[in-house]
Amino acid sequence: MKRLRLAAGFMAMAILAMLACLLFHSPLMMVLFLTIGPACAGIAVLLFATGLNVRFGDRE
Amino acid sequence: MSSVDTGVIVLILSAVSLLLLIGVTVSMDEGSLTPGRIGVLFLGVIVVPCLSLTFGVGAAMDEAKRVGFCGTRCHEMAPFYEDLRSPESETLAAIHYQNRYILEDQCYSCHTNYTMFGPMEAKVAGLMHIWNHYAGHSEKPIKLKGEYRIANCLHCHGESKRYRESHTELLAEIENGDMSCLICHGQIHPQQDAKVDQ
């Protein structure tokens, strides 16, 4: 459950970075969004998958 | 779909995403995760936020194409932006901008190569410009990296009747890349002060 909350937190961070970029129209914010956004979203997906104990590949 | 519509969609999706994320986080408990609850979690934590981020990247890219973004957000570009809008200016860029030969996104239209990876190369170059600015590596006069591709001019002018009729003797040379449009067609942008910007 802790990982799922962390996943939600990271995804919220990505959304906030995007909103900052779109509201301020600043090149620096754009760079931060384009770097932090995908990184946070990727970490969130990983945390979500591991938090649910999703297993990839053959279980044997 | 216009970028304004995209912006509104992004804002709505972002608001929905943040509400879902807060709702999902608050309602999480240590109880068993039923398939239904996993579905709601997946929708709230992954699907809707990722959709919002996808639209957001598109809106951010659209915004970065605008002349105002280039001219008013980057200090190095201010003289070029002022020249574009100056009624007295006779530079090639100003003529194109003021007569709306290019309808919108004029900086982007001329400075992005019309190749498969042209837009991506332009974005990477833009990121490097920002890095150079904040790292204190920006110098005046600023220079175009590499040579300007005449193919970018020909993308619009190449099939124009007026261009073809007035350049009959030079057509082959220009299209082969042996002759540059910039040789005859004057000053493209205003002269810059030759000082280091620190």
The residues near B77 (Cβ < 8 Å, ≥ 6 apart) are B70, B71, B107
Rounded CA Rg of chain A: 14
Please give the Cα distance from B148 to B33 (Å, whole number). Answer: 59
Contact B17 A15 (CB under 8 A): yes
Q: Which residues of A touch B73 (CB under 8 A)?
A: 25-27
CB A33 within 8 A of CB A24: no
Which residues numbered 24-43 in A keep a CB inside 8 Å of some CB on B? 25-28, 30-31, 33-34, 37-38, 41
Please state whether the predicted TM-score (pTM) of the whole model is above 0.90: no
Considering only CB atoms, B21 lies closest to which of A1, A12, A22, namely A12
**Which one of B9, B40, B46 makes the best mutation probe of the A interface by having the most chain A beta carbons within 10 Å?**
B46
At B13-61, the pLDDT tens digits run: 888 888 888 888 887 776 667 777 788 888 888 998 999 898 888 888 8
At residue A60, the pLDDT reads 55
Residue of B nearest to A10 (CA): B45
Q: Which residues of B touch A31 (CB under 8 A)?
A: 127, 130
Which stretches of chain B score pLDDT less than 50? 196-198
B119 and chain A in contact, CB less than 8 A? no
